Structure 1
Amino acid sequence: MNTKTTYGKEILWALLALAVLAAIPFLTPSRVVLDFVIRLAAFGIFATSLNILIGYGGLVSFGHAMFFGGGAYAFGLLMQKAGTSIPVAMLGAILFCALLGLVIGAICVRLKEIYFSFLTLAFAMLLHSVILTWMSLTGGDQGLMGGIPRPIFLGIDLSKPISLYGFACVVGIVSLLLMRGLMQSPFGYTLRMVRDNAERARFLGIDVWRVKLYAFIIASSFAGIAGSIMALFVSGAYPEFAYWTMSGEAIFMIMMGGLHVFIGPVVGAALLLIFNDLVTRFTELHGLALGIIVLVFALGFKRGISDFVVQFLRTLKNKRATP
């Protein structure tokens, strides 16, 4: 099966997913469900963008939240200060995160393993400190004050919950489809080759540093999209978006959902959001409870749940095929 045929099927799956999401508001009037899907769109993109580095590139970043937070602040400031339209502000957030990823990635991807991880963490903490101290621009620890305007564009009024829901769904599905296409492209397979054996890839004439840098920029840009959706949802941007714990949550989503199945991080994001909502409702020790849940997943499945399911189905298929 060629790549075009495979990608055509994935587009059909994406359209089917959009159709299902479009039906949800007609099936339930609950605002809680709509808000959950909007948050899932943001965190699903965020976790999947991080998995471009971890799952496909073998680069474990502890500072990916800097792009999530950076995208949220860039989007919010463009809307508040410059009065741009929503598409222009989102494009500006993407460009800001891509440029930030270019500068930081050019330094970080030269390093290996734990050094790469902790340098990304250091840069994330630096950006978080800038957000806290530059109060005249960012609002400090109070975040962007005054809300984010939602002017009508192309007849779409995002001040209406149902319109915001539809916008988040479309942006989420399109972003996932684009990331899937990139990872199934020659670049994606080159990135896997670099992950598996960088020396062999270098011997074949591949510029390993450049491939890793491109992956870093791509992941940063999509994290900026996720931050923009979250800024629209909460009508603001807050320092917590760029804090290191946000990167940790994305890593938990990948661990719970799966590294090796593309949709795994989205599954993990849904699980973590559900568990977080349930735990915070029933106990104040939500940190401890979530830690235990993640530990159960790590020890029980020994991989993300989507990886576990795919491996189980393959094993079952092989047993049936064996005479």
Structure 2
Amino acid sequence: MRRESLRDLFIAAVALAVLLVLPVLFPQPALRDFLVYVIAYGLLAMSLNLLVGLTGLVSFGHAAYFASGAYSFGLLMQSGHFSVPMAMLCALAGTALLALVIGAICVRLKEIYFSFITLAFQMFIHSIILTWVDVTGGDQGLRGGIPRPAFLGIDLSQAGTLYAFCAVVFIVCLLIMRQVWQSPFGYTLRMIRDNPARANFLGVNVLRMKLGIFVLAGTMASMAGILMALFVSGAYAEFAFWTMSGEAIFMIMLGGMQVFLGPVIGAFLLQTLNHYVTIYTEHHGLVLGLVILAIVLGLRRGVADYARDWLAARRTTREAAALEAKPAKKAVS
């Protein structure tokens, strides 16, 4: 475990260095903006995969916590009484509490019932955002922008500094989720996903475990919403609409749910498709649907999952060929 943790830290440091160097090598603002979108949506998809891929809980309402983080952070910053780090911590704590209340109800249900009650809670939050116009701005979103006062010598009003801040937060969140993924807690969640009855028989408190990962996933989605709110300097009702949760599921389907970084790969693919398809046609939804159908029906799993299985099959074939070659050499000798 210690060696794996050191390896993960090394990979995270290399990934952070690459993210920080890319805008220096290619200083176009469009690339930086594109990477921020990948970071925010990739973090949303990664947080959802803690439920879908790790625990077997398919949530249709995960974007509610994305919106909760964005709106909570934006309102706190607009009040003028909070620094950026303090507003982030308060927004994360508030979203964790929201996820705890909602999760205590949702995790008692199974399969499709769980999925639809999470969607019901998301649409309830979306309706609150639309109707509480005095606070949320309704369908116009938070008006007036989100202030970005400097803290600890960090000025987020500078585009380059904001990008670097988002990249650092993104890598830290990935490290946290990676530790959960590889921890005994993560393997317990896999056991619950594969056979909840056996897990319960072995003494695992299934409801408590599900609630714990539900709260953690909601908190990570909240961080994704905070980064998006910082980047666009606002929060909008679309953040809590069901299509946002649908996009997160699409990212997982595109990238894969069994490889840890699969959802990030899916976020990159989805954002790339959205960017280039919208340039050449207005029917981007149709093209995106066809691509997802091709991947689902052709590969029958995400791109990263398919690549992992293909490499494993090649390795197995090579090992089998090597074992067959050894007796032949002995017979010749």
C-alpha deviation, 1:36, in angstroms: 1.0
Q: Which residue of 1 aligns with 2:220?
A: 222
- CA shift at 1:204, angstroms? 0.8
Q: Partners in 1 of 2:117 and 2:266 — Cα distance? A: 26
TM-score (norm: length of structure 2): 0.95
Q: Whole-Å Cα distance in 2 between the matches of residues 53 and 283 of structure 1? A: 34
Q: Tell me which stretches of 4 or more aligned residues in structure 1 moved more than 6 Å.
A: none
Provide, for residues 269-315 of structure 1, a one-character-per-residue CA deviation record: whole Å limited to 9, x for no partner: 00000000111111111111111111111112110000000101001
Q: How far does the alpha carbon of each residue in 1:119-177 deviate from its partner, in whole angstroms, 9 at most, with x for none? A: 00000000000000000000000000000000001111111110011001000011011
Partner SS, residue 155 of structure 1: coil
Partner of 1:143: 141
The residue correspondences of 1:161-200 to structure 2 (distance < 5 A) are 161-200=159-198
For the residues of structure 1 that align with 2:80 and 2:105, how far apart are their CA atoms?
31
Q: 1:291 and 1:160 mapped to 2: Cα distance?
A: 37
Distance 1:279 1:69 in 2: 26
Match of 1:96 in 2: 94
Distance 1:260 1:25 in 2: 30
Q: Which amino acid aligns with 1:165?
A: Y
Residues 176-233 of structure 1: CA distance to partner in whole angstroms, max 9, x if unpaired? 1100101111111111111111111111111000000001000000000000000001
- Matched residue of 1:56: which SS? coil
Q: How many residues align?
A: 321
AA in 1 matched with 2:187: Y
Computing the radius of gyration from Cα coordinates, the structure with the larger value is: 2
1:7 shift after superposition: 1.2
Distance in 2 between residues matched to 1:86 and 1:290, nearest whole Å: 36
CA displacement 1:92-119 (0-9 Å, x = unmatched): 1111111011000000000000000000
Percent of aligned pairs with the same amino acid: 58
Which of these residues, 15, 18, 28, is aligned with residue 30 of structure 1?
A: 28
For the pair 1:301 / 2:299, whether they are aligned, the reply is yes
What CA distance in whole angstroms lies between the structure 1 residues aligned with 2:80 and 2:305?
Answer: 45
- Matched residue type, 1:135: V
Q: Map residues 191-270 of structure 1 onto 2, 5 A cutoff.
A: 191-270=189-268
TM-score (norm 1): 0.98
Structure 1 SS opposite 2:52? helix
**Partner Cα separation in structure 1 for residue 164 and residue 92 of structure 2:** 20
SS in 2 for 1:59: coil
Give the gaps of 5 or more residues in structure 2: 322-333
- Amino acid in the other structure paired with 1:144: L
